[in-house]
Amino acid sequence: MTAAPPPAPQPGAAVDPPAAVVPLAAAEPGAAVDPHAAVVPVAAAAPLAAVVPPGAVTVRADAPATADLVRAGWTAVASSWAAELRVSAADEAAVVARLERLVARVSPLARIRELTPADADAALALDRATLPDYPGGPATQHDPLTPTTARPAPARRAWGAFARALAPGAAPSLLAMTFTAEPAAARASADPADPADPADPTAVEAVETDFTVVARDWRGRGLGSAVKAASVLALLADGHRRFRTGGATENAASLAASHALGYIVDERWLTLAPPV
């Protein structure tokens, strides 16, 4: 059975979206961005509001309904990708070795460790300093951290890279961080008692990367890849098997970092604006 094409959109008219096409919703403060979820939040404030017209939808690039919308005059205003790293028992040693290399190569520059609630102020400061740096549209939007979301939690674990070279007595500064979002189902399905039982890694929920960011002056030195690799290593050790991430198509560094870890792009998304 083929899905019926969407009605020809009228200017200003509400769209009755086909299954693969979901109108953008107002973001919950601090909500994790999930670039491959069916509903991709967009903030009403932020510069995005200026470039994402009312009525825009984010759709799978390969969905039949997307072609219908394009034929009906909708135009792409942003594009993004999502990728997955699945780790089976057979792959695990090679994946771990690759991730450990990514962490080890920044060791002269930085110490990487899991962030704790005591790091929340440093995370907030790094976040504020880098807010304008996220390219892309609503599907890859980064919601600014708040004092609450900057605090790592069991389902929102985070890793950071701290500068090694210190002035005497100075606190090490946070150079890079990655925050993850762990669905409750992923926590339940991870079995630390039997971490090598990935009979079907696709059957378990994935842990998402919420965002990764590196201080401007420290980019291109492996820190983004390293904090992300550290997060996957720790979550793997806890029994997780599936990891998902995503980014804007134009974010070459983010895509390259994900490739370096072994993620494989499996979804492409478009944000389409209605015809005017």
Ligand X SMILES: CC(C)(COP(=O)(O)OP(=O)(O)OC[C@H]1O[C@@H](n2cnc3c(N)ncnc32)[C@H](O)[C@@H]1OP(=O)(O)O)[C@@H](O)C(=O)NCCC(=O)NCCS
Instruction: State the minimum distance, in angstroms, from the CB of residue 221 to ligand X.
Output: 5
Q: How far apart are CA 80 and CA 248, in angstroms?
A: 4
Q: Is 231 in the site for ligand X (CB under 6 A)?
A: no
Instruction: State the minimum distance, in angstroms, from the CB of residue 209 to ligand X.
Output: 7
Residue type, 221: R
Stretch 121-150: interaction string toward ligand X, x if CB under 6 A: ------------xx----------------
φ/ψ of residue 119, rounded to 5 = -90, 5
Residue 169 parent element (H or E): none
Q: Is 204 in the site for ligand X (CB under 6 A)?
A: no
Are 179 and 158 in contact by the 8 Å Cβ rule? The answer is: yes
The span of 5-13, 68-76, 195-203, 253-261 binding ligand X (CB under 6 A) equals 253-261
Judged by beta carbon, residue 21 or residue 223, the one nearer ligand X is: 223
Q: Is 247 in the site for ligand X (CB under 6 A)?
A: yes
Helices H / strands E in the chain, number of each = 7, 11
Q: For residue 146, give every residue at least 6 positions away whose Cβ sits within 8 Å of its Cβ, in sequence order, or none.
A: 29, 30
CA-angle at 74, arms to 45 and 22, nearest 5°: 60
φ/ψ of residue 127, rounded to 5 = -60, -45
The span of 119-127, 198-206, 223-231, 233-241 binding ligand X (CB under 6 A) equals 223-231
Task: Identify the DSSP state of 164.
Answer: S
Cβ count within 10 A of residue 247: 26
Residue with tokens 């400061």: 125
Among 66, 80, 212, 249, binds ligand X (CB under 6 A): 212
Q: Is 220 in the site for ligand X (CB under 6 A)?
A: yes
The span of 36-44, 76-84, 188-196, 255-263 binding ligand X (CB under 6 A) equals 255-263
Cβ-proximal residue to ligand X, closest one: 224
Total binding residues toward ligand X, as defined by CB under 6 A: 21
Cβ count within 10 A of residue 164: 13
CA-angle at 253, arms to 251 and 256, nearest 5°: 110
Judged by beta carbon, residue 204 or residue 214, the one nearer ligand X is: 214
Among 224, 239, 262, 274, binds ligand X (CB under 6 A): 224
Q: Is 225 in the site for ligand X (CB under 6 A)?
A: yes
Instruction: State the minimum distance, in angstroms, from the CB of residue 250 to ligand X.
Output: 10
Per CB under 6 A, residues contacting ligand X are 133-134, 211-214, 219-225, 247, 251-254, 256-257, 260
